[in-house]
Structure 1
Amino acid sequence: MTALATEPAAGPRAQPPRTGCVITADATYAARLAHDGASPGSWFPERWTLDGPEPYAVPLPAHQPEEPGTDVLPLTDGRVLIRRAADGRHLFSLLYPTGPGTGEVQLGAVECGALTLLPPAPDGRRAYALAVGERTTDVWLVAGGAFGPEHLAEIEGRCSGGVWLDRSGRLLALDRAEPGGGPVKTVAVDLDRGGEVSPLLQITEESTDRLLCADLDSGLIMVRSDAAEPGRPRLGWGVLGSTLPLRFPRALRPAKCAVTPFAVQPGQTLMPEGCAVAFRVDGPGGTGDGAPWLGVWRPAEGTLRQLPAPRGWLAGTGFWTREGVLTLPYATDEVPCGLARLPAPEPEAPRGTVRDDAPAPAAPRPVPLAQAPLGGRKAAG
């Protein structure tokens, strides 16, 4: 999503970046590490502008190349947050274009071991990170605060993932492993109450349950759980606020393939079964070069539509418009900053609620998000 960067098909590059393209929640900007093709270590941040007539990219190189493990995250004011690691410290800065160069505002550092940026916050002005320790996880506000990085909460257990549950950036879903062991469960963290934790997704006591995404318009959630078949995680779907069991469609279990959701169609208010969901599909076949391809699915249908991805797709990234157009960023030698727009396949003839899937033995039951995070409740299988 930014310009002047090329993506040569071959040539040494050391190792690829840890993260790919990151898109703001409102799909106005994106950021990634790009490569200039000159040498294996020639990585630099670039910002893509997505909300104009055509996408364009702006390179944001610093005085030296970036490490491939560097994280970047765009903000809706056009600046790009960058996290660099050095000697047990994680240093944060905001980058922005200044004429021919790159401006940089240093925000400060966090001293810890492992640290990862959370997905872009709904308001687009703040950025958060998780620092995972041996028995606890710290939540940090690393951009958008008053005085540099601010410690917000310490959560018992080792946390990963990260799904926003409201538009204010108050409620955050995390997948947590208890310090003493046991299966991973998704919890909701209230950042306005010092990190108060509430159960969010617990299908059975023994199952490993992870929340992958949540759409706030329709209430549709996508989960990965082994509740239906212990030891074999499956993709399932449900609805925030519903007492109906989660369901695990056979369509989302293509043979010898891994399927990962990355975008849900917005604007489908109270219509979760009609929401189009985009998936990254990895496995043998496809184009024959090992590259991932696309899947599109709706809960009301029994089919995962598998589609070729555009050449140079920044795999696993993209967004839906409210009109149902799947927009995918890509970069090639010829087009270093491009967006492919694919209308969603027409829905199949209405068939009611599809039952070609296995229900989970329990369903997550939320209380209204305005009050508190959701809890769990047993339900008939």
Structure 2
Amino acid sequence: MTACAIEAPAEDGDAVWPTGFTITANGAYAARLAGSGEALFVERWTLDGPEPYAVPLPLAQPEEPGALLLPLADGRVLIGRAVDGLRHTFSLLYPTGPDTGELLLGSVEAPAPGALTLLPPSPDGICAYAMCVGPDSTTLWLVAGGAFGPERVAEIKGRCSGGVWLDRTGRILALDRQLDDGPVKAVAIDLERGGEATPLLQITEDSHDRLLLADPDSGLLLIRSDAPSPGHERLGWGVLGSLLPVRFPECLRLDDAAVTPFAVQPGQVLMPESCGVALRIDAAAGSWVGLWRPSSRRMHQLAAPFGWLAGTGLWTPSGVLRLPYATPAAPCGLADLEEPAEPEPEPVAPAAAPEPKVCRPVPLQEAPLTDRKQAG
């Protein structure tokens, strides 16, 4: 259910709503940078109550626009700040009455500017991981949840990107890896075995196969690959551990818009085709929402609420999509979207019954026994 904003939502007047909105794996909390201009501060949202509400977590100095944020399941917010371009310091912010408390965790040195990113919130809600991409290898750091500050937990051969959790414990992580100048392939990383990597996706030998989202309950995988048409990536779906091929529905392919999944309906145990999938649709006219299920041959396109923090949202197990939005009049809101009902199929007139044929009974000893099971 976790999602992160990629681009800034719509502006209103002089107010600018910054990028970066991340929701915990259990959907209880979220965090973003709020404010305008240079007066930016961390804001924590509570999403699992009767009404959403925001708690500002300002400090004496405003935050930089590039600060990295990750909410934890206990309500604290991890923040990573770049210092001198390469060194990143990490702290936990939390409300303490009218003030903001800050617990310093330590720092991580990145190999180059922009090489360090935070991975999506861990399903355990306690740990937080950062990924440093170097020229030939990728290092994973446990930056929150450890005993002694940031800890290096794995070094993986190749340049990695993405990041999708494949289980509910925070042990198995999927990354998109490129070895040398070869194609990008998703691999599964076992964090309890030193970052051991095993192949996860290889549709063809030369295709670029990336994993975008996964649902541990149903095993549904959302994939982007150029296997169907080299040089042009398509959105497809498959099932974790299945021998069936990846499918690339035509309804997910729009000529003049980019389609990106950002949330999957939880709780559909062993029913991947029944999972609701929320998609962000970006075109010249703006951004809106697509709703789709693998069992359906169509994608519903719906208008997003004004001020939507584009590319973010979460599904309830009952099938309601909740989209966060922020406007000057409503700085903390959730809008519920329900999937439109499928139209009833038109009745088809019954065909005329064929004339009965007279068949000669076949004696049992002469009856074809192919595909019949022996009785007894």
* Deviation (angstroms), 1:344: 2.2
Q: TM-score, normalised by structure 2?
A: 0.86
* Deviation (angstroms), 1:10: 2.9
* Deviation (angstroms), 1:20: 1.8
1:99 to 93, 97, 105: 97
Alignment RMSD:
1.5
1:320 to 304, 315, 322: 315
* Deviation (angstroms), 1:347: 4.6
**1:293-342: CA deviation from partner (whole Å, max 9, x where unpaired):** 00001111111100000000000000000000000100011111000011
Paired position in structure 2 for 1:360:
none
Structure 2 counterpart of 1:81, one-letter code? L
Report how many residues are paired: 332
Instruction: State the SS of the aligned residue for 1:192.
Output: helix
Paired position in structure 2 for 1:368:
none
Matches within 5 A, 1:1-381: 9-11=12-14, 17=18, 19-35=19-35, 37=36, 40-87=37-84, 88-112=86-110, 113=112, 114-178=115-179, 180-284=180-284, 290-347=285-342
Equivalents in 2 of 1:243, 1:250: separation in Å?
A: 22
Contact map agreement 2:21 2:32 (CA 8 A) in 1: yes
* Deviation (angstroms), 1:82: 0.2
Equivalents in 2 of 1:92, 1:262: separation in Å?
A: 26
Larger Rg: 2
Contact map agreement 2:165 2:214 (CA 8 A) in 1: yes
Listed as ranges, the gaps of 5+ residues in structure 2 are 1-9, 346-376
Contact map agreement 1:176 1:185 (CA 8 A) in 2: yes
Instruction: State the SS of the aligned residue for 1:153.
Output: strand
Structure 2 counterpart of 1:242, one-letter code? S
* Deviation (angstroms), 1:274: 1.3
Contact map agreement 1:187 1:197 (CA 8 A) in 2: yes
- Sort the Cα spacing of 1:272 and 1:192 in 2 relative to 1 into closer, same or farther, 3 A: same
Paired position in structure 1 for 2:350:
none
Contact map agreement 1:301 1:348 (CA 8 A) in 2: no
Structure 2 counterpart of 1:191, one-letter code? L
Equivalents in 1 of 2:344, 2:316: separation in Å?
A: 23
Structure 1 counterpart of 2:125, one-letter code? G
Equivalents in 1 of 2:201, 2:342: separation in Å?
A: 30
* Deviation (angstroms), 1:62: 1.4
Equivalents in 2 of 1:347, 1:130: separation in Å?
A: 42
Contact map agreement 2:289 2:301 (CA 8 A) in 1: yes
Paired position in structure 2 for 1:355:
none
Equivalents in 2 of 1:166, 1:24: separation in Å?
A: 15
Q: Which runs of 4+ in 1 moved over 4 A?
A: 347-350
Higher relative contact order (CA 8 A, sep 6+): 1
Equivalents in 1 of 2:342, 2:103: separation in Å?
A: 48
Identity over the aligned pairs, expressed in percent?
Answer: 66
**1:214-273: CA deviation from partner (whole Å, max 9, x where unpaired):** 111111110000001000000000111110110101100112000000001111111111
**1:333-377: CA deviation from partner (whole Å, max 9, x where unpaired):** 111100001122235669xxxxxxxxxxxxxxxxxxxxxxxxxxx
**1:40-92: CA deviation from partner (whole Å, max 9, x where unpaired):** 21111100001111000000111111111101110010100000001120000
Instruction: State the SS of the aligned residue for 2:200.
Output: strand
Equivalents in 2 of 1:57, 1:327: separation in Å?
A: 16
* Deviation (angstroms), 1:99: 1.2
**1:268-293: CA deviation from partner (whole Å, max 9, x where unpaired):** 11111111100000013xxxxx4310
Equivalents in 2 of 1:258, 1:10: separation in Å?
A: 27
Equivalents in 2 of 1:159, 1:256: separation in Å?
A: 29
* Deviation (angstroms), 1:8: 6.3
Structure 1 counterpart of 2:163, one-letter code? G
Contact map agreement 1:226 1:232 (CA 8 A) in 2: yes
- Sort the Cα spacing of 1:348 and 1:297 in 2 relative to 1 into closer, same or farther, 3 A: farther
Structure 1 counterpart of 2:232, one-letter code? R
Structure 2 counterpart of 1:235, one-letter code? L
Equivalents in 2 of 1:345, 1:316: separation in Å?
A: 20
Instruction: State the SS of the aligned residue for 1:278.
Output: strand
- Sort the Cα spacing of 1:349 and 1:226 in 2 relative to 1 into closer, same or farther, 3 A: farther
Equivalents in 1 of 2:11, 2:307: separation in Å?
A: 10
